[in-house]
A and B are shown apart, each in its own frame.
Chain A
Amino acid sequence: MNTGEDRSGTGAGAERPELSCPVPLPPGDRIQLGHGGGGRLTAALIRDHLLPAFGDPELARLADAATLEVPGGRLAFTTDAFVVQPIVFPGGDIGSLAVYGTVNDLAMMGARPLALAVALILEEGLELGTFDRVVASMATAARRAGVRLVAGDTKVVERGAADGCYVTTTGIGVVPPGVEVGPERGRPGDAVLCSGPIGVHGVAVMSRRAGIGFDTDLHSDAAPLHDLVAAGLAAGGVHALRDPTRGGLAAACNELAQASGVSIVLREDALDVPGPVAAACEMLGLDPLHVAGEGICVALVAPEDADRVLAAWRAHPSGRRAARIGEVRAGPPAVWLRTGLGVHRPVQVPTGEALPRIC
């Protein structure tokens, strides 16, 4: 240290400034930029925090890419970025959400998920405790979904350049031979099934949002759906599947209607809107049809198979409240809600950002 007047070595004990030999401080309890630098801190983060949590031998090789044996069938391949705020919410956190979100995107194509790759973008200053919680819940979610976590990457950006933690999950799965589902396969006459109550995840997250916060007992419904989907597929006649995440049931049904070139008519009295969801939507001026779920899916099913698929879903722990909520008709692509007065009201996709950063 140069104080402008060289007093070092003068032996004036107490007066002597501390030597500033650059011995690094221990990393402490927060993420630092160095954790993303590719050096020793990065290696320590991977060795001490990530590998033990995921415990996958392929990941532990720390190779540039994972290599996997793939069973027969068509490969399903998807990626999804998660920016949910707050990171931790009732019933989950960004880690479990990122696993289930991508697993479910694979499931909606009828695929059995095989493996995930995870990219983490961390903000300098993120508490290591929060980071560990996210990683642990990601590992737990992957185990619950029976999917391996085989590759990953971590980057750190300056404080203020991100909001805590962003997660991107990329997934591959295999569609078993004979399974043919896709959003374009809905046909007039199909029954519309929904596997559970709508809007739960969105309201659970909103209830903890700064500036909105309200009390509710709701927990996010985030859950893997591939097992439920497989049970439905085994019952036969499933043409199209979609999970109503961002944009809710309204967006999911509109996407299916567009892709299949059909009209979808939903029955208001058949929709399962839990009381707390209805109450929160009332208060926030939202339509429950626009609010995300993360553990439900919609299916367009051949009418003759609808009861069997419904029974299979209801026998599954994730589908106990499954219901038939409407039907597919010939007509220009649109979604309609038949109200209690017998009037048909169009169900539109939400405009803009009523519920930003819900997943």
Chain B
Amino acid sequence: MIQHFDPRQHDRDLGTPAPAADAAPVSVEIDGVAIRVPEGTSVLRAAALADINIPKLCATDSLEAFGSCRLCAVQVEGRRGTPAACTTPVAEGMKVTTQNERLARLRRNVMELYISDHPLDCLTCPANGDCELQDMAGAVGLREVRYGFEGENHLAAETDHSNPYFSFDPSKCIVCSRCVRACEEVQGTFALTIDGRGFDSKVAAGQAEAFMDSECVSCGACVQACPTSTLMEKSVIDAGQPEHSVITTCAYCGVGCSFEAQMKGDQLVRMVPYKGGDANHGHSCVKGRFAFGYATHPDRITTPMIRESIDQPWRQVGWEEAIAFAAERLTAIQAEHGRESIGGITSSRCTNEETYLVQKLIRAAFGNNNTDTCARVCHSPTGYGLKTTLGESAGTQTFDSVMQADAIIVIGANPTDAHPVFGSLMRKRLRQGASLIVADPRRIDLLKTPHLEDAQHLPLRPGTNVALVNALAHVVVTEGLEDHDFIASRCDNEAYRAWRDFIAEERHAPEATEAITGVSAEAVRHAARTYATAGNGAIYYGLGVTEHSQGSTMVMGIANLALATGNIGREGVGVNPLRGQNNVQGSCDMGSFPHELPGYQHVADATARGRFEAAWGVELDDEPGLRIPNMFDAAIEGSFKALYVQGEDIAQSDPDTQHVEAALSSLDCLIVQDIFLNETAKYAHVLLPGSSFLEKDGTFTNAERRINRVRKVMPPLAGKADWEVTIELARALGYPMEYTHPSEIMDEIARLTPSFAGVSYARLEERGSLQWPCNAEHPLGTPTMHEVDFPIGKGRFAITEYVATEERASRRFPLLLTTGRILSQYNVGAQTRRTDNQVWHDEDVLELHPSDAEVRGIRDGDWLGITSRAGQTVLRARLSERMQPGVVYTTFHHPGSGANVITTDSSDWATNCPEYKVTAVQVEKVSRPSEWQRRFDEVDRVQREYLATARDTTAPHLEATP
């Protein structure tokens, strides 16, 4: 007897989704084959598990059964008629027949009707080789269409080409509703519908509009679900069917979706979300699914370049010369200005192995701890706050955990834009009835989730998070909503007592904080009761929590709330930072911070440091090094002279741009390793070509601590992967590193980092992915953290005094600017701006409330000067009811927008994470770009010329140099 309980069959479509894993087994017999499957399994799925493949069209295992095509009709002993196998659940003792003459005739008849209204251009159809309709015509043995092809049909329906990535050809549509259901069930956007009835029914986007004019977010779920060529990637229409595929991990956000990179030789034809991916289960967003064209964009830097000073044109050279030039400079600078005069920045876009090597280079070859990473400017407060309270610098759950949550709090995060695939999963849970509480100055799209049952919006003033979280905790404590058993058994009693006395003070009552936060006491009380009493309460947060002068305090406040209500240590609860970049969790894990060796082991910890010293063969500095903003200050002051930056665009992404520009201009040697001439590279002396995620092997770690493999699908454009470049630089500095493959780097990481001890490429191949801690105690990884105890033993409540930021609205700067992201663009935009995602967002705009606009005589589309104490920039106005009066908002995806010219040097007290989310500004109508923008345009023009000159004058002998 075949038994199937938890099959990991990702490559086959089993027709309907798996039932609950804990369902009781049921025995059935299909075509004489006995099989046991969990209760709730469809006959179609049960048959597929026994490798009995019933023809189907409207069924696919990513969607609930629909029963519309009738192709999967079967006969069940003792039952009348021919029920659809997809909608018929198995029952104990059931005997099913899937093939006989009657069923064959029925299926042929069904197919005959479909094909009578379908173009017969199979040989030239883009789906040729990948068409379920064609396969089913073959499977049922269709040989003739008695109705002819002259009757009423849809063959003249016009194709919608409006979306840049896929076309919609309704002449090929069989109205199976898979696209409509995918848009509803998987993505949760409800952009598609079946319009009309009977023969007239057709798939329509929005109100029967073009896809681009509808609510469609271009996630690709409909394209993925379509069994024909109706919804088809334009890249496949152009290139034809791919011939092989490689499973890899997306290089966009911290969700870390698994994709099949479908290839023709070394040409990437399409990215298809991988059903076996544990983070995304076959779903995707517009970035990962479609926006990969940047990887082969003509702007890619493919040759190393050097120059004596930044006012000179670039000179293309071979790898050897560029590396020797960089090493000589670094050595000379250290000889003149001391060991601590140089440093480096690791990349949250590169792999774990590459990040590990850069910090190793800095600590071992530079001989100091001046290493930092872009997490400094995003989630460093998460590291501090969670380590202090829970003992580990990472989120506590898997993404799937949200499906067990009863109340979900989202604070300062915008998952449907910034973590879209997780946003869709969260929406799915919300449609099932979980309560939603959003604390955000803006009305984010999650609040507009279709079929949302119960949503509460706490529209707080920017900068008042801590006052709000304290008020929530005050309600929990004073209304008797604490989980006393959890607190008694799992938390440090002394810290709890101190915290409880603090939080119970009347000044933290919602009635008292109302004047600070702008959120009504009643709303706060309601939210606290919902979270504390729903059952499973889960908190998700983003940069709207961390990027404040009290970012670390807020993270601790969130942890306090979870501890007080016992919402830690099981599925469905937890404290979940939504990490921004693909490998920002990994870059932190890998020892990028100046005070921590890999695995968050402090540099002053003699035992841990000793292990690294023994393995690396050098003595390591036992004091922390400079953080990014400290490096900038030291550069301007003159004590910091050289910086190696791998895959990070600090000139665009860091706050107070003019300060950053001044710092970069002060350096004697700036080495930038990137795939493009980014903003930082305009201040560089050495430009080393980077490699995209498609060009190397390695691993990324996502926001749920999941280590996923990145697999090379094409050779590096410039001949070297990033990890190989770092090795070359180390060697030139007299510190040889001997690795022939990234797996050897991971082996070293596992030897030196207790939480990674069980991680290896072999184990990753076997398991697909692993969530750290993965070691002897947790050989298969740790999906849910803190189930039994905390790494610090007991959970520690922290005192979270609300200290208002000094950045506040005044007569001179009466508005508060906050910044964020949108779906189609990613971070500084270096990748997405070089794709068709530009059609959704080709400029950053300033959103402001109509009442703020009215008093200033501003109309939609006007040019606005935005001025803060740090600088001025000019953006176009967009009037938006999503904003609250007094608060304005912009994104930073385009360098010329200068969003960070106005953000200030204000930062988190504990970690120096910049306060991007609160800047006091004034806004007024203007007629021309700001002074900074005019200067930016000039620098940009000159630096592009320097690059173009270098490319024009490439010496012929260099072409042979890889």
* Real binding pair: no
Which residues of B does A touch, CB under 8 Å?
none
A: which residues have CB within 8 A of B?
none
